Amino acid sequence: MRDLKRAPIAAFIALILLMVASPAHAEDGYRLWLRYERLPAPARERYKAAATEIVMESNAQLAQSAAGELQRGLSGLLAMPVPLRTKVGRDGAIVGRIQSAVGVGSEGFAIRTTLIAGHRATVISANDERGLLYGSFALLRLIQTHRPIDRLAITDRPKLELRMLDHWDNLDRTVERGYAGQSLWDWQTLPQVKDPRYTDYARANASIGINGVVLNNVNASAEILTAPYLRKVRALADQFRPWGVHVYLSARFSAPMDIGGLKTADPLDPAVRDWWKAKADEIYRLIPDFGGFLVKANSEGSPGPQDYGRSHADGANMLAEALASHDGIVLWRAFVYSAAKNDRAKQAYDEFKPLDGRFAGNVIVQVKNGPIDFQPREPFHPLFGRMRRTEVAMEVQLTREYLGQSSGIAFLAPMWSEVLDADTCSPRCATPVRATIKAMVGVSNVGSDRNWTGNNFNQANWYAFGRLAWNPAATPSGIAEEWTRMTWGNDPRLIGRVVVIMLRSREATVDIMAPLGLAHQMATDHHYGPSPWVCDLTQPSWNPCYYSRADARGIGFDRTASGSDAAGQYKPKIGDCFANLKCVPDDYLLWFHHVPWTYRMRSGRSLWNELVARYDRGVGEVEAAQRQWDQLRPYVDAQRHIAVAASLNRQRIEAKWWRDASIAYWQSLSGLPLPSGHAPPAHPLKWYQAIHFDTVPGYLAPGAGHQFSCVPPPGGPPCAL
């Protein structure tokens, strides 16, 4: 009897314990940096008085999205309802207002603490609705990161006009170089099924100022341009529009032949030009704010104007003409190289520099951050600063194809900033790359995984990309701290550690895979794991040995005047330094120079010993990150803590694999003993050379997914509904 009486009390206590022990909802990473978790009590009290109601004075669509987001964010952070009102009625209103806001241009905003009808208010003002949207996210960010908001006088505006994600997504939902599940776009069920996730995706982009999205792979299927697919594209565009995200498509240059029934895709052929005009008109009838086309042409086997003896400018300008009357733009990629020519690092410059000034006004030439291909470290691309009469975009890769793919942590803001801050000396010194570009484009790392990016820390690269595209001078440490606060929490014991792990992670990845200016030492095709020994591929520049040029005497690619003279493509102040052993930074040594294994480094070590030390430093960094992360267990929810710990463990195993395989191979050439204190590889070289993976996420056998897959018979059923 007594026991029975006690039962409800025991059950009550058990319930309370359960509630305390488990978070209110699973932390699976879905909410990204927009978690809007309830603030701790003291902070909540501070903000409550300054966020009592929301008054959005504009009815424009983006302004209404902003109001909804403010309400969602504030209600979550402050754990109280924050009502929407039509006019200020009390102290603490947050007001959105379109009015001429000086100095913020289009898309920018001002946030000011002021008095309205005798009430204290925070006014977000902008010249346009887009500015209100970005200003609202900025205000939420201040609260999310525990910054004071009671005396605000902020103005901000994006430094670059176009801030865009490129999805390398195929129509069969595979993602080229995707490590986060399938493509988000479910082409099969579009346009009927409008997944709410499409909205969350657009919201996330809006929160960091991303204003354009290319939906499909640069290795494009022309099928995306058929009427049934355009209706699907429209459905996505409709869902993105309230968040200010414009839709773009990758266009296959041979589309007039693939789906248009023409015999040629020659850009100077009138029928081809008419076909593209009609196609553009058709798209704009469906999607009036369509952004334009992204084109990979005459690159890695894709069709292009050179198939007809025409130039890149001829091809780009034809598409530009078709889009011009609709205010659309063409992003034309400069990622070109061929087997026949000499140094791959020189080819884009050689092809595009002579075309400077020949592109139409609505063409942007899209240049990768470095002259080869998204390697862990490359010097900046020599085209930056040298296309003085052409608009240029910088393309970076968020998905870590060459930086560890899905494992562990590699925060890429330091890498992108390194390039953005690099002095081009063009036209004069103190002209950083960031001052020479009009746009930033990021190859997306987003997929259907619940946490969007396959690994919680890869979200940081999405975030950092948006923040840097908004302000290319922003600091990686500032971005890392902001993201950490919003994503993991504001506890100072947590922030410091996470930020340090993040900031060191990219350099660690360089050490592990490609120290001292090495590049492209990854396994063939899928690029997962080390294969520095590969030397038998038909296209010379797909071989790791092409980049290392390693033999018994030494290692490195001579890009000075005695070699390929790629250094000569930079302005003399820069190129002369790269070409001079006394001036070139250690980080670019083997990129520009072939040196003996015994070459004396600035550290006093021989090159061989330095190389070994760098590999070991990289492995040590991952181990250190693991230890730091373990100590963060008390401050992080269990679900995400376990997930990150597992991913870091995988990164450590892979780092060791990279280190051992690389050292084993280089040692087979150099014949030198390992410096003391550095362990020999765990296995003989042959063991590493025998490792082989048939299936790795993100890599498709040639042709799969890219190609046009359905030719609609004349008058027959279409390929998609």
Q: What is the contact surface with ligand BDP in residues (CB under 6 A)?
A: 176-177, 218-219, 296, 335, 373-374, 401
Cα distance between the two ends of the chain: 68
Query: In degrees rounded to 5, what are phi and psi of residue 714?
Result: -55, 125
For the bound state, the minimum distance from the C-beta of residue 402 to ligand BDP, rounded and expressed in Å, comes to 7
For the bound state, the minimum distance from the C-beta of residue 631 to ligand BDP, rounded and expressed in Å, comes to 36
- For 302, other C-beta atoms within 10 Å of its C-beta total 19
Give 200-245 as a DSSP string. Answer: HHHHHHHHTT--EEE-S-SS--GGGGSHHHHHHHHHHHHHHGGGT-
Measuring CA to CA, which residue among 355, 353, 391 is closest to residue 371? Answer: 353
For the bound state, the minimum distance from the C-beta of residue 330 to ligand BDP, rounded and expressed in Å, comes to 16
Measured from the CB atom, is 348 or 643 closer to ligand BDP? 348
| Separation between Cα atoms, residue 49 and residue 120, nearest integer Å | 10
For the bound state, the minimum distance from the C-beta of residue 290 to ligand BDP, rounded and expressed in Å, comes to 22
- Could you confirm whether 373 is annotated as catalytic? yes
428 three-class SS: coil
391 three-class SS: strand
Measuring CA to CA, which residue among 219, 233, 204, 235 is closest to residue 292? Answer: 233
Measured from the CB atom, is 400 or 614 closer to ligand BDP? 400
Query: In degrees rounded to 5, what are phi and psi of residue 480?
Result: -60, -40
- Could you confirm whether 576 is annotated as catalytic? no
Measured from the CB atom, is 108 or 544 closer to ligand BDP? 544
Measured from the CB atom, is 399 or 426 closer to ligand BDP? 399
For the bound state, the minimum distance from the C-beta of residue 520 to ligand BDP, rounded and expressed in Å, comes to 10
Query: In degrees rounded to 5, what are phi and psi of residue 309?
Result: 75, 15
Q: Do 602 and 613 touch, CB atoms closer than 8 A?
A: no
Measured from the CB atom, is 359 or 699 closer to ligand BDP? 699
Q: Which of 107, 128, 373, 654 is catalytic?
A: 373
Percent helix, strand, coil in the chain, to 5, is 40, 10, 45
Measured from the CB atom, is 368 or 497 closer to ligand BDP? 368
Q: Do 353 and 320 touch, CB atoms closer than 8 A?
A: no
| Separation between Cα atoms, residue 484 and residue 474, nearest integer Å | 16
For the bound state, the minimum distance from the C-beta of residue 518 to ligand BDP, rounded and expressed in Å, comes to 17
For the bound state, the minimum distance from the C-beta of residue 510 to ligand BDP, rounded and expressed in Å, comes to 17
For the bound state, the minimum distance from the C-beta of residue 367 to ligand BDP, rounded and expressed in Å, comes to 11
Task: Output the CA–CA distances (angstroms, integers) from residue 350 to 332, 336, 345, in the order listed.
Answer: 16, 10, 10
Measured from the CB atom, is 64 or 219 closer to ligand BDP? 219
Measured from the CB atom, is 359 or 528 closer to ligand BDP? 528
- Single-letter residue type at 434: R
Length of the chain measured in residues? 721
Residue nearest to ligand BDP (CB): 373
- For 640, other C-beta atoms within 10 Å of its C-beta total 18
For the bound state, the minimum distance from the C-beta of residue 249 to ligand BDP, rounded and expressed in Å, comes to 16
CB within 8 Å of 653: residues ≥ 6 apart: none
Report residue 5 as tokens: 């009486």
155, burial (CB in 10 Å: exposed 0-12, middle 13-18, buried 19+): middle
Measured from the CB atom, is 247 or 295 closer to ligand BDP? 295
Task: Output the CA–CA distances (angstroms, integers) from residue 511 to 8, 337, 669, in the order listed.
Answer: 60, 27, 20
Measured from the CB atom, is 373 or 654 closer to ligand BDP? 373
| Separation between Cα atoms, residue 429 and residue 502, nearest integer Å | 31
Measuring CA to CA, which residue among 610, 682, 620 is closest to residue 651? Answer: 620
- Could you confirm whether 300 is annotated as catalytic? yes
Measured from the CB atom, is 218 or 619 closer to ligand BDP? 218
CA-based radius of gyration for the chain = 27
Report residue 700 as tokens: 């498709």
For the bound state, the minimum distance from the C-beta of residue 304 to ligand BDP, rounded and expressed in Å, comes to 12
Q: Which of 238, 300, 321, 423 is catalytic?
A: 300
Q: Are strands 153-156 and 162-166 parallel, antiparallel or unpaired?
A: unpaired
Q: Which of 401, 610, 621, 660 is catalytic?
A: 401
Q: Output the 3-class SS for 584-597.
A: CCHHHHHHHCCEEC
| Separation between Cα atoms, residue 132 and residue 122, nearest integer Å | 13
| Separation between Cα atoms, residue 462 and residue 454, nearest integer Å | 12
682 three-class SS: coil
For the bound state, the minimum distance from the C-beta of residue 706 to ligand BDP, rounded and expressed in Å, comes to 9
Residues annotated as catalytic (active site), given as ranges: 300, 373, 401
